[in-house]
Structure 1
Amino acid sequence: MSKTYHFIGIKGSGMSALALMLHQMGHKVQGSDVEKYYFTQRGLEQAGIPILPFDEKNITEDVELIAGNAFREDNNVEIAYAIKNGYKFKRYHEFLGHFMNQFTSFGVAGAHGKTSTTGLLSHAMKNITDTSYLIGDGTGRGSANAQYFVFEADEYERHFMPYHPAYSIITNIDFDHPDYFTSIDDVFSAFDDYAKQVQKGLFVYGEDSNLRKITSNAPIYYYGFEENDDFMATEIVRTTTGSNFNVKHDGQIIGEFHVPAYGRHNILNATAVIANLYVAGFDMALVAEHLKTFSGVKRRFTEKIISDTVIIDDFAHHPTEIIATLDAARQKYPSKEIVAIFQPHTFTRTIALLD
């Protein structure tokens, strides 16, 4: 049954992806936000989804309200009007937690690499079978007939706690979001709570000491580069066109793979995807075929060439992510001088991670 949804803060990366997904599933979608241009609005405009100014007149009885997590009664007229007049609304993560129950869901969590890994997983799955997905770069696809749903699970303010996925990848645990988390132990506690909600299989990076301590009611599979990992990337060859490697499980090679992506971290991301799809019963030959055609996600190692200069735009704002981006750049452009320009992302994060 078709519904009408109004998104309060529709230009947010998660919100825009969800709006696109619901629109493609046949629902009527509109939203409101500030006038400032955001990279997400191009996709919304191309889909014909109205983007309105914030106004209490947007709140009516015939729409289901979905609110961005940053908007509150004291800073948004629509939220204030909805609360004053008794209109119910769900936060983004609350709606998503309920929405995904109609699918076999695949979550991707972690301090770093969520968006790239979600993009890679959804790319492989959508080319094998009908799959809906929601990626943190503002990209979403919805199909009313899909059996599977791939989504990005954000740990900030424990927003992933409404999620109970069938499968989930956790790429790593690191101290981030210092405006919310007090310590690495606090971060670990959040991920450990999330892991307990995974139902069929949890896939975690085996060389992460915190992830080795994670607990879950579902089977836990470790992936990485070591012999004691359940899924091990081996025979790795990194070139200027991408990365080639095999994946070994239970002493046997389950496939030979190529990803047109760069850096050690992207081999790990791909190994996580391969492990998850192997356990979920997907054909490894088909997985290998479609990993080859992955073109990346928005704002992650996005390249623009001007004369003989290559400009790489990446959302890396944490020291771990910056190191990974530089590693990827050196792989693809081994003969070029690399100059890094860093744009700080929030004062609290920059100060906390400066050392």
Structure 2
Amino acid sequence: MSTMLQWPASRPARPGDPLVDSFGRVHSDLRVSLTDRCSLRCTYCMPEQGNLWLERSTLLDAAEIEAIARVAALDGVDTFRLTGGEPLLRRDLAEIVRRLAALTVGGRPVEVSMTTNGIGLAGRIDELAAAGLSRVNISLDTVRADRFAELTKRDRLADVLDGIRAAAASGLRPLKLNTVAMRGVNDDELHDLVDLAVEHGAELRFIEQMPLDAGHTWDRSTMLTRDEILETLSARWRLTEVDGRGDSPAERFHLDGGPHTVGVIAAVTAPFCGACNRLRLTADGQVRNCLFARDELDLRRVLRSELSGTERDAALDSVLRASVLGKQAGHGIDDPEFLQPGRGMNAIGG
């Protein structure tokens, strides 16, 4: 559940204190992007050709990611989500999972999860589970092979479905499937996607399309809204809201009283910024305090400086706190002066 704190004016925050912003929101979730590269080219995320990738020398290695995560854990961050691009493209993914899963907060192991497109997951999930991966979210926008190829510019639906089956068999729970709902694209498949999730013991989470495409072509009129998604689902199932949302980005609903559930992440039409507890680390070592932030602070520079030991950790902590303190009350999508982030979603991390 989201927590609010306000420091006494007499004592500034210091390393080991919670990461609290100026609105009292405590940050306990760090999304860690491992690469901006992906095995798909989803049209709402990145162009099929002409992408300018991050220089490999700028990407954080496993030890650098661990160093940042260790400081964040000291400050109370107990949830780490590995994202991309596509995290399965990192050959050292299991090592990264192993390093993060060894961290503790208050004597309890942290949670290490991953968001993936599922391609190649079937061959690696046992290794990742053994390394300490807690759970997995898999992105899937259609169950039709022709539409999948059109949306992603790759004929890989069978590979994604293999990944979903492997995740379902692995026992990692909760298993979630993420779908970006788009008008005139996949809005005729909402029931089919929920059926697929239920079949594999997963929760389908519909996501409103957000202005995060690399080409900056987002058009609000093509976005399927929260209310439209719920109306479509209600035509088949009786939806009752699940209590205790806390700081989760998803509103969750029981299907016909349960046990199966469905979620909706409505960042555009029903923003949940007031309970946000998330920070983001890009693959090249920049910390972002909001998915839609236009400013970043450089952790890589600290990691690769002459500082070492406690001095380096203190400097990392200082940068994390500066980022948190600069966080705005909301993402501002409805502000007339809103500008999309310079980076696309693949370069920010989910």
Same fold (TM over 0.5): no
Larger strand share, 1 or 2 = 1
**What TM-score results when the alignment is normalised by the length of structure 2?**
0.33
**Which has the bigger relative contact order, CA under 8 A and spacing at least 6?**
2
**What TM-score results when the alignment is normalised by the length of structure 1?**
0.33
Q: Greater Rg, structure 1 or structure 2?
A: 1
